[in-house]
Structure 1
Amino acid sequence: MPQLAAWDSFYVIVGSAAGALIGLQFVVMTLVAARPSLRVAEAGAAFATPTIIHFGTALLLSALLRVPWQSIIPAAACWGLIGLCGVAYALVVARRMRRQNVYQPEFEDWLFHALLPLAAYATLAISAFAVPSRTREALFGVGSAALLLLFIGIHNAWDSTSYHVFSYKRDADDERS
């Protein structure tokens, strides 16, 4: 399909990055699990799981847009459904963040775990409806949403890893004192 042909390299790069980062996140979580902390496990559903979901969504979008569709409408329906499910999931994550009492989220946490994912998934949903009249702009919406989810995942993975490292170091220092 000619509308998606120009996007081939973009989705190969985004999809490959998302797939590799999913694997890396699993390695990091495995290493962190070797020294479990009860307070960290409680916040996992609010902070760790969404990172894998965002990477997985970027990977899924990249795969869907590489499918040789006969028309862009089925692809738009798929990414629109993903966007609507993502909006619902972003609201669930925000509720989980508010309910957990292990960690007090700061503005940056709300931005990267709730607001930006909500914006990315809403962009996907809106782009699906824009396809019939504004195909080019809709494709830019999907591309920006996939890239935003990838960068959100990178930020959140780094943030979570550094949190675990520094909280472990602080706990070890406290034990030595």
Structure 2
Amino acid sequence: MRTIVQDIADELVASGAERGLQVAVYRRGELLADVVAGVADAAFGNRRDVLTAEIPAGGTMTARAVARVYDALLTGELVPPARLRELSAPAVRGLDEVTGVEAAWGLGYAIGLSPGLSGDTVFGMPGSGGTVAFADTATGVAVGIMKNRIGDFTAVDRIGAAVVSAAR
């Protein structure tokens, strides 16, 4: 798994599509991949004024940390299995007024995050700059993808789809 993720991350950076990526993958408490590619410049994000600012929808975490949270959801450490089924199942479907595309939402989580991760077994939260954290209930993988360049979801689609496919 680590080699697959590292190869895709390196390719995205080499092509210029990304400047720097951090990707982590867990499965049942085991860290399967913890990858950094390109420039992992945390200087801005680690400034005291940024860390203490109230930035709406701005999280301060690593890919490994957020992937571990999703892994804890899958393994029952944070919620019981019945609650996981509730929160990760589509509760509402319709037009997302922000993105303008059809979307499904569970209880606090997007269901099927992007074209590459479109199934009802994938739940998580995409970030506006192309970062994401998600889990797949069918394969048991939990993934965090953090970027240092605001952009699209190319990295999420490529890496996420490869991880889910390899986990099957």
TM-score greater than 0.5 by the shorter chain: no
Q: Which has the higher helix share?
A: 1
TM-score between both structures, scaled by the size of structure 1: 0.28
Q: Which has the higher strand share?
A: 2
Structure showing greater relative contact order (alpha-carbon pairs closer than 8 Å, 6 or more residues apart): 1
TM-score between both structures, scaled by the size of structure 2: 0.29
Q: Which of 1 and 2 has greater Rg? A: 1
